Structure 1
Amino acid sequence: MTQTAVTHPTQDREGPITAFLRATEIDARMLGMFGALILIWVGFHVYGMIFNGNGAFLTYRNLWNLSVQTASIAVMATGMVLIIVTRHIDLSVGSVLGVTAMITGAAQVWIFPKVLGLGLGHPLIWILAVLVALVVATAIGAFQGMLVAYLEIPSFIVTLGGMLVWRGAAWWVTRGETISPVDPNFALIGGGPYGSIGATASWIVAAVVCVLVILSLVSGRKQRKRFGFPLRPVWAEVFIGVVASALVLGAAYVASNYPWPLGIVKQYAASHNLTIPEGGLFIGHGFAIPVLIAGAVLIIMTFIANRTRFGRYVFAIGGNPEAAELAGINTKRMTVMVFALMGTLVGISAIIASARLNSATADLGKIDELYVIAAAVIGGTSLAGGSGTIWGAVLGALVMQSLQSGMVLIGFEAAMQQMVVGGVLVIAVWLDTVYRRRIK
């Protein structure tokens, strides 16, 4: 029996945009957010050309740096989606990042050398540091989840208290002393010329991702046929595959065309006995390690949210907690697991942030909770719970970081930057409210 796309009588009266969105199953808010991102990029670039004499935003250098700066927030935003979907909130992520980074830095510089006899540069240091960060942050997340689930303290209060407690703990670990430098192998996780995989490897990664996109579309279509679900038109599947592949290949092109600084090229050539030609030696950065980490987290979290029992339970709890509990879902345990997962993602972000700065400071992660929550909400996650997308949160993180980066380039003061971010968050919540009224 041949499966065909389901049609409705009202489809003949649909406009072209509505028909396109229905066929491709693209959320109108996601499309609007992508359009807003393009406007932000072009707007800041044109502003720089007019008032500063050069457009610095749409350059290989700035776009590469933007991707690295977005990685930490994007990783946490994927977890914040699940937190908000279950009708909770986590205001402590920035402070947990700070205390995790401080403990991890102290372990590398003070504890491992004295207790284990491992000095900076030892190949085990960065592995142990990563494990410490993940264990500490996951434990904090699980602890806060237990307070919410079993003591029934509102998550707003638990994490608001956590925001203050863990920020104080970040200072207390070293009495406010900055820990720098961290282990050189650990620092590579933060990016930079040596913390990137190069142009050739980047093109290989991009090709693999494109193949995975195609396989995912084919697998999804087979699953729909198997269970009798409506199919997207073939042209819609092709369109999604082409656009996704073009974005991946475009990212690889940008990353590969951002060259190493001249001084580092000379050092590299000298250490490898290379002769620099008369026109110079071009070495492209390629994808930075934190960007690859964020991409891996995006894929894994999307799989967890959409293809696992855990993900289905999360959205069931967010849709109707009472019905979910009556259906046999252990909502308390699920709450602890969601907060523990959020902690793990904060630990990953702490690794990226401290490695990128090559140091750990008590102020690391300050107001990150604002950017993370804003990214999730801008990405379509409803504060009422029950709905949200991992991809949307990552796109929201890119929007937020683009705003911040653009404002820095054109010389906005820090106070004005915070005002803009706060305003964008309020507008995003208002638009979500309007959207939900229209679909009811």
Structure 2
Amino acid sequence: MSQSGTAETAGTPAAPPQPKGFAALGLDMRLVGMIAALFVIWIAFAAFTDGRFLTPRNIFNLTIQTVSVAIMATGMVFVIVTRHIDLSVGSLLAVCSAAMAMLQTQFLPDLLGLGSPFIWIITIICGLIVGTAIGAFQGWMVGYLTIPAFIVTLGGLLVWRNVAWYMTSGQTIGPLDPTFSIFGGINGTLGETVSWIIGIVLTIGAIALLAQSRRAKASHGFPVKPMGAEIGLGVIFAGSILAFIWVLNAYTIPERRLERMFEARGEVLPEGLVMGYGLPGSVLLLIVIAIVMTVVARRTRLGRYIFATGGNPDAAELSGIDTRMLTVKVFAIMGALCAISAVVASARLTNHSNDIGTLDELRVIAAAVIGGTALAGGIGTIYGAILGALIMQSLQSGMAMVGVDAPFQNIVVGSVLVLAVWVDIIYRRRAGL
């Protein structure tokens, strides 16, 4: 009996050992490393600034300063994944900003009347058309004329920056339409109640996605994490989202500004009333774009084609993928995202200035690469690029608060970029990627 049992046991393949503790969460260790690096940066700057770096006010400002670069970084993931590069994004942002500024200050008021509610809508639509068209044109030159993307977009960096200068005759254009300015952040926050509602909805959505992913894996026979690990992940996600909303709500509107807001409505500010800014509209826009881009990357044919082409362009073309048209689409998406970033950047400043978007191309590429997008193509995540943008902005904001000169800030950012690529190379070698 014992021999039979031994034989049966010997003939049955041993089940792989279940990971325990932190490993059971099944997290991407590179992502964990980036989050740990971000926390180290925050704690270090908090110590150097006597805690001012981690105040609700500074966290609020940090988020709205990150949005513009983060939006473009989500598109740069697709560009780099397909083994290309786009050096023109800062200049493309500038030309879209110039076009939208001229429209809403010089042309549309004469056409529709000053203060027309359609000014900001037409402005944004036109900006998106300009950005998408320029992006598609650059993609056409890369895909169909087979000019290297580095050369095409390097030319674009010079061309579009100076086109923007000629469009505005080198002048700062403003003030912009008040409704348009809502997309900048401080002038367009959602308030405490709406922010909590959005936070709860996002929390429920994150937990639902975890549950759906677990069911999908189980239905296809793939191994799933222990239930305790799934619950732990859910608690981490929920806690992070709700803590973020709590911090933004803790940044209260100054009393004088609050009085003006009530006076504009013909009301009197109740004595002792305190209100928080809440979630900025620009951050909500970034969240929506992140979700859409993630869905495109993971759940659509376009996303599968992008990553397949980046992994092996020759095999992708032989399998029937039109890689030339795919290149046009990827650069068109990048152009559209530059236009959206132009909305956010100019709305935050409430005007268009000649230096808007300067060096953004380097910040965007750095954000994508620090976030784990492989320069060799085929690998990259949207959430990683956004986290990379937050790390970059945290470094710059922290150094500015400490009193570090701008030239040295750029030295640090450049050094961090090179270090991040080196660490990524080592990580991929050890992981066999």
Partner-residue secondary structure (3-state), 1:57: helix
Alignment of 1:68-217 (within 5 A): 68-114=64-110, 116-119=111-114, 121-192=115-186, 194-217=187-210
Matched AA of 1:117: L
Shift of 1:245: 1.1
C-alpha contact (below 8 Å) 1:68/1:291 kept by paired residues = yes
Structure 2 residue 229 is matched with structure 1 residue 236: yes
Partner-residue secondary structure (3-state), 1:184: coil
Greater mean deviation of Cα atoms: 418-427 or 264-273: 264-273
C-alpha contact (below 8 Å) 2:75/2:333 kept by paired residues = yes
Q: Which residue of 2 aligns with 1:52?
A: none
Q: Pick from 402, 423, 426 the counterpart of residue 394 of structure 2.
A: 402
Matched AA of 2:32: L
Shift of 1:227: 2.6
- Cα distance in structure 2, aligned partners of 1:436 and 1:40: 24
- Cα distance in structure 1, aligned partners of 2:419 and 2:253: 39
- Cα distance in structure 1, aligned partners of 2:340 and 2:386: 15
- Cα distance in structure 2, aligned partners of 1:241 and 1:169: 49
C-alpha contact (below 8 Å) 2:259/2:268 kept by paired residues = no
Structure 2 residue 359 is matched with structure 1 residue 348: no
Shift of 1:9: 6.4
Q: Which residue of 1 aligns with 2:238?
A: 245
C-alpha contact (below 8 Å) 1:187/1:356 kept by paired residues = yes
Q: Which residue of 2 aligns with 1:45?
A: 46
Shift of 1:361: 1.4
- Cα distance in structure 1, aligned partners of 2:219 and 2:16: 27
Can you list the C-alpha shifts for 1:403-427, whole angstroms capped at 9, x where unaligned? 0110111111110111111011100
- Cα distance in structure 1, aligned partners of 2:228 and 2:377: 33
- Cα distance in structure 2, aligned partners of 1:237 and 1:309: 29
- Cα distance in structure 1, aligned partners of 2:320 and 2:17: 39
Q: CA RMSD in A?
A: 1.6
- Cα distance in structure 1, aligned partners of 2:88 and 2:26: 35
Partner-residue secondary structure (3-state), 2:352: coil
- Cα distance in structure 2, aligned partners of 1:315 and 1:106: 38
- Cα distance in structure 2, aligned partners of 1:356 and 1:326: 46
Greater mean deviation of Cα atoms: 400-409 or 267-276: 267-276
C-alpha contact (below 8 Å) 2:72/2:334 kept by paired residues = yes
Shift of 1:26: 1.5
Shift of 1:90: 0.6
C-alpha contact (below 8 Å) 1:24/1:237 kept by paired residues = yes
- Cα distance in structure 2, aligned partners of 1:320 and 1:179: 46
Shift of 1:214: 1.5
Shift of 1:118: 2.9
Shift of 1:8: 7.3
C-alpha contact (below 8 Å) 1:100/1:136 kept by paired residues = yes
Partner-residue secondary structure (3-state), 2:201: helix
Q: Which residue of 1 aligns with 2:359?
A: 367
C-alpha contact (below 8 Å) 1:99/1:362 kept by paired residues = no
Can you list the C-alpha shifts for 1:343-367, whole angstroms capped at 9, x where unaligned? 1111110000000100011211000
- Equivalent pairs counted in the alignment come to 420
- Cα distance in structure 1, aligned partners of 2:288 and 2:234: 19
- Cα distance in structure 1, aligned partners of 2:215 and 2:208: 11
Shift of 1:437: 1.4
Matched AA of 1:44: F
Structure 2 residue 28 is matched with structure 1 residue 27: yes
Shift of 1:242: 1.3
Q: Which residue of 1 aligns with 2:255?
A: 262
Partner-residue secondary structure (3-state), 2:53: coil
Can you list the C-alpha shifts for 1:221-240, whole angstroms capped at 9, x where unaligned? 22223333222222222122
What 5-or-longer segments of structure 1 have no aligned partner?
A: 1-6, 50-54
Q: Which has the larger radius of gyration?
A: 2
Structure 2 residue 369 is matched with structure 1 residue 377: yes
C-alpha contact (below 8 Å) 1:375/1:393 kept by paired residues = yes
Structure 2 residue 419 is matched with structure 1 residue 430: no
Q: Which residue of 2 aligns with 1:3?
A: none
Partner-residue secondary structure (3-state), 1:179: coil
C-alpha contact (below 8 Å) 1:89/1:156 kept by paired residues = yes
Shift of 1:201: 0.3
Residues 357 and 242 from structure 1, CA distance in 2 versus in 1: closer, same or farther, beyond 3 angstroms? Answer: same
Partner-residue secondary structure (3-state), 1:162: helix
Q: Pick from 295, 316, 335 the counterpart of residue 308 of structure 2.
A: 316
Can you list the C-alpha shifts for 1:363-385, whole angstroms capped at 9, x where unaligned? 11000011111111111111111
Shift of 1:265: 1.0
Partner-residue secondary structure (3-state), 1:361: coil
Q: Which residue of 2 aligns with 1:4?
A: none
Residues 175 and 215 from structure 1, CA distance in 2 versus in 1: closer, same or farther, beyond 3 angstroms? Answer: same
C-alpha contact (below 8 Å) 2:76/2:365 kept by paired residues = yes
Can you list the C-alpha shifts for 1:16-63, whole angstroms capped at 9, x where unaligned? 6xx734x333111110110110111110010112xxxxx210100000
Shift of 1:252: 0.7
- Cα distance in structure 2, aligned partners of 1:273 and 1:122: 22
C-alpha contact (below 8 Å) 1:265/1:281 kept by paired residues = no
Can you list the C-alpha shifts for 1:243-277, whole angstroms capped at 9, x where unaligned? 11111101110111111122211212333454445
Greater mean deviation of Cα atoms: 261-270 or 124-133: 261-270
Identity of aligned residues (%): 50
- Cα distance in structure 2, aligned partners of 1:183 and 1:274: 24
C-alpha contact (below 8 Å) 1:190/1:357 kept by paired residues = yes
4+ runs of 1 displaced by more than 6 Å? 7-10
